Structure formats: structure tokens, C-alpha cells
Amino acid sequence: MDGAIHRAGGPAILQECMEIRKKQGGCPTGEAVITTGGKLSARFVIHTVGPVWQGGNGNESLLLKRCYENSLKLAASHQLNSVAFPNISTGVYHFPKEHAAEIAVKTVREFLASNNLPSEIIFACFDEENYSLYRRLLNV
């Protein structure tokens, strides 16, 4: 996902990421940073580092939850009305899709229960398995 965003968004996103790295170092797993959207139709891109699945023994569930929480906090602090999330860590990081979807939906629901922004959350599912999981969890 990261490569696709950088290709479509152009060099402005990468430039801001490099500036963030100079200022604070890398982005630790579970944390999030925000940059311009570059050439994307989105004004901003929130970048988060998802956990690599290690069998569930490395705090992966907590770290994934923090990805969503920290991304949502950034969105709210920048007064963003909508946020689109990919299926964080379920690709090359091999986080089990069903468990990841449960964490995503629960964390977003908890955040929205006590925050007005963002007011719209989109779960962008890139395969039928994730799409089915999110439809079931969201009762749609």
C-alpha cells in the first residue's frame, strides 16, 4: 500500500516523510504521522506502521490497535471529516485477516463513541475475504 500511495501521490509525500524522519527518526510500530496528499485527491495521508505477525506473541494485537487509535487521533486533531483505512498488516505482514478486522472495527467504534471527528470511516478492502469480514462485522 505504501508504494502505491507514493507512486500516485508524487514526490511531495516522500519529501515530507524524509523531513519527518530527519526530525524524529523513523515511525515506530503502532505510531502514526501525517503528510500532504501530494497529487492524490486526499488532502492528507496518515502513515502508520503496522505490526508483523509473529504468532501473536509480540504484542501484535495491541500494536495494531494503536495504529488505528493514533491515526484517528491525528485525523481528529487535523479536523478531518473522513478517513479511509486499508487492511493494515494483513498483506506482507501476515496478520490474520479476521483478527485484524475485529481489532479495526472495535477500535474505530470505541474512538467514535467519544469523538466527533472523523465523522466518516471507510474500510478499503482489497480482496473478497476482507470485504466479507468487514461486511459481517459492520452488519451491512
Q: CATH number for the domain including 28?
A: 3.40.220.10
Asked whether the whole model's pTM tops 0.85, one would answer: yes
Is the pLDDT confidence value at 61 over 90? Answer: yes
Residue 88 structural domain? 2-138
Domain count, the chain: 1
Is the pLDDT confidence value at 69 over 90? Answer: yes
**Positions marked catalytic:** 2
Residue-wise pLDDT for 101-137, tens only, equals: 999 999 999 999 999 999 999 999 989 999 999 999 9
Provide DSSP, the chain: -HHHHHHHH-HHHHHHHHHHHHHH-S--TT-EEEEE-TTSSSSEEEEE-PPPPSTT-SSHHHHHHHHHHHHHHHHHHTT-SEEEE--TTSSTT---HHHHHHHHHHHHHHHHHT-----EEEE---SHHHHHHHHHHHT-
Banded pLDDT at 29 (limits 50, 70, 90): very high
Q: What is the pLDDT of residue 67?
A: 98
